[in-house]
Amino acid sequence: MLKRTKNTGLYILMMLIAVLQLFPLYWLVVSAFKDNSEIIGGVVWALPTKWRFSNFSEAWVSAKVNQYFFNSVSVTLITLFFVLLFASMMAYALTRMRFKYNGVILFILLMGVMVPIHATLIPLFMILKNLGILSSRLSIILPYIAVNLPIGVYMLSAFLRSMPKELEEAAFIDGCGVLKSFFKVVLPLLKPPLASVAIFVFLAVWNELLMAATFIQKEALRTLPLGLMNFSGQYSISWGPLAAAMVISTLPILLAYVLFSDQMEKSFTAGAILK
């Protein structure tokens, strides 16, 4: 009996904390359907009297969230593809191939895990300017690939090191070359750690603001975080459409979270241990 009451108490405590974590988000979602008079005059936790889907269409079209959304999707996908490809190739070379500078390369990559990206910002700005790609999509894609490579290489190398070589050896005996055995045998086996890296990179790139704010000057190329920030400046008066835009930009993350929450937890813990 005593144990039961204790458990109920714990449940109530956990519910309270859950409410504390979720209430701001609940407020965001209901605000996305309200107009200002309802937000200012109404009860904070009340549902909208009338569900204004117009906030969403206003955000999507007039506030150009559709454009920001497309920019974020394309930048994220391109970055993701190259990080996964380059990181798995580098990890393979560093763990399986034989050459002298193995240690040096791993050490240089370690800098990428340790040094904050803020320290690269000013020279990057000059490099991108000199290359003539400032304020193009490439101006953030290339740094995003560079920034996310080290952690990818480390996560994948750790996995490869613990992976037996027998399958690759069998592939060689069957007459596969290195390339063929890499793409046909190794890459499929790398799926679990690749999924972790993919989630890690997806969140990092989808949420990135500092580099986008520094290197993207064209309005048409703004990513979601950058677009939202400017949007909030212009729409400081009407909170409804801004809330709608924020809901839209979080949907892909929410979706990924619902689908892959276990994988996400894994990639976060793995990433944390590495840092």
Partner 1 sequence: MERALSNKKLIALFLVPGLTVFLVFYFVPIIMTAYYSLHDWDGINPMTFIGLDNYTKMFTTDKSFWQAVWNSLAFLLVGVLIQLPISFALAMLVSRKMKGRKWFRNIYFFPVVMSTTMVSLLWVKIYDPNIGMLNTLLDAVHLSSWTQAWLGDTKTALLSVLIVTTWHYVGYNMLILFAGMQGISEQYYEAAKLDGAVGWKAVRHITLPLLSDVLRICIVLNVIYALKTFESVYVMTNGGPLNSTTMIALKMFQEAFLKQNFGYGSALAVFMVLECLIIAWVLNKVLTREKIEY
Using CB under 8 A, which residues numbered 137 to 156 contact partner 1? 142-143, 145-147, 149-150, 153
| Near partner 1 by CB under 8 A: residue from 39, 163, 187, 189 | 39
Shortest spacing between CB 60 and partner 1, in angstroms: 17
Token pair listed for 29: 């979602």
Which is nearer to partner 1, 77 or 229 (by Cβ)? 229
**Minimal distance, residue 55 CB to partner 1, in Å:** 14
- Closest approach, Cβ 192 to partner 1, in A, equals 16
Phi, psi of 100 (to 5 degrees): -75, -40
204: tokens are: 């990092």
| Coil, helix or strand at residue 158 | helix
For partner 1, the binding residue among 73, 74, 78, 86 (CB under 8 A) is 86
Backbone angles phi, psi at 32, to 5 degrees: -60, -20
Helix (H, G, I), strand (E, B) or coil at 86: helix
104 contacts partner 1 (rule: CB under 8 A): no
Residues 6+ apart with CB under 8 A from 148: 79, 83, 200, 201, 204, 205
Establish if 122 lies at the interface with partner 1 (CB under 8 A).
yes
Site for partner 1 in 194-253 (CB under 8 A): 203, 206-210, 213-214, 224-226, 228-229, 232, 239, 242-243, 246, 249-250, 253
Per the CB < 8 A criterion, the answer to whether 208 and 225 are in contact is yes
Enumerate long-range contacts of 119-125, CB under 8 Å, 24 or more apart: 121/210, 121/211, 121/214, 124/211, 124/214, 124/215, 125/214, 125/215
Instruction: Judge residue 220's burial from the number of C-beta atoms within 10 Å of its C-beta, 0-12 exposed, 13-18 middle, 19 or more buried.
Output: exposed
Q: Which of 28, 158, 163, 187 binds partner 1 (CB under 8 A)?
A: 28
Contacting range for partner 1; rule: CB under 8 A; set: 47-55, 56-64, 171-179, 189-197 = 171-179
Site for partner 1 contains 2 (CB under 8 A) = no
CB 208 to partner 1: min, Å: 8
Residue 46 touching partner 1 (CB under 8 A): no
Considering only residues 3, 97, 103, 175, which one is a binding residue for partner 1 as defined by CB under 8 A? 97
